[in-house]
Structure 1
């Protein structure tokens, strides 16, 4: 990149699966893989969260047998870890200084991102300013309250990928989540697209980039960088 690109990553602050004792939060790979894809491409990356402070990480995403190299790299990166130990609250943010906003997933987002007035306003403003918006896995739940310049749901009429109903069922969590993300995205009028369960799949519709599951994180990051470059 010839000019410095500024990318804002917004993550969940919700640590429990609904009212249960089961821990959730962000799915770490969905943060760490794009984080380093952006950083290694020369972008400046900032991390914020819905409530600020320490970001909850889903413990299942930290299991050694499935841990991507980006997770290990992040855990050893003092600056990166500082950002999730003391993350900024989205109420303190202005999107004016950023070229793209990215929403990683993890089941936590299903509770504190959908129709969150602060987040919806921030994303709607970013879209109106011509910023790139991106999300992966459950991250598109953060887009459901955002609107485009006409006041319609941002995802309406646009190609969107997100965690599928099939994948939610395979995870055994269809009864735990407040709604099924694929179903909600479709209800909002999106041109929903998906690939095979738990295989990489991402789509770009202009300045909107979305991915289906954790395995799609790298592809989403690539499409974000492409969208920023061509916007």
Structure 2
């Protein structure tokens, strides 16, 4: 029973000169939920290799014991410095794929052919496809074998346009994620700013924001174990 936990490999916030990357609690909290449930976790990224953490997320969650323990775990840090390339991943080895958030995902998830291939393969083999916060950027161009968009007609959530505006980064983003997801035909479900929101549409599980990371992962475990 294994989960492929995919993080961004992109570390620059548009043209601002500021760093970004994967968002700490959206990796640390799901990792703990998965491993506590007895699932094996493999870290991957679109291109593989070293991946950047959003430094702001470490600062924001420096009092969070799960995040603190995660950062102190040298084995985990080594894995995030040498992630598997999605091109070399065997989807059949995994019961679920989980796309963690962080603003970096907006640049390297949407158009990556291997993101699309792995997502489609895991879903069509009966696995769980999941994400949190900006992780659904992975889904905007994913199509199933019949040519339909994966998320078409399904309930889904992610970091909302209102949340993006609240953190004053909408103008920096390459596109408005919520808007793009809606264009792909999903039933986008929005909760109040920065509050917990998890949507389960069969084997598609999504969470809105950092507050949703733990319950989203728990919903993935439930979906895997039936």
Shorter-chain TM range is over 0.9
Matches within 5 A, 1:54-203: 54-63=50-59, 67-203=63-199
- Aligned 8 A contact 1:115 1:146 in 2: no
Deviating more after overlay: 149-158 vs 164-173: 149-158
CA distance in 2, matches of 1:65, 1:149: 40
CA distance in 2, matches of 1:15, 1:130: 33
- Aligned 8 A contact 2:20 2:52 in 1: yes
- The count of corresponding residues between Structure 1 and Structure 2 is 226
- Aligned 8 A contact 1:75 1:81 in 2: yes
Deviation at 1:219, TM superposition (A): 0.8
CA distance in 2, matches of 1:65, 1:132: 28
Where 1:63 maps in the other structure, the secondary structure is helix
> RMSD value over aligned CA atoms?
1.1
Is 1:27–2:23 an aligned residue pair? yes
Where 2:35 maps in the other structure, the secondary structure is helix
- Aligned 8 A contact 1:16 1:23 in 2: yes
CA distance in 2, matches of 1:206, 1:148: 15
Structure 1 unaligned blocks of 5 or more: none
Structure 2 unaligned blocks of 5 or more: none
Is 1:48–2:44 an aligned residue pair? yes
Which residue number corresponds to residue 217 of structure 2?
Answer: 221
Task: State the TM-score, normalized to the length of structure 1.
Answer: 0.95
CA distance in 2, matches of 1:69, 1:199: 20
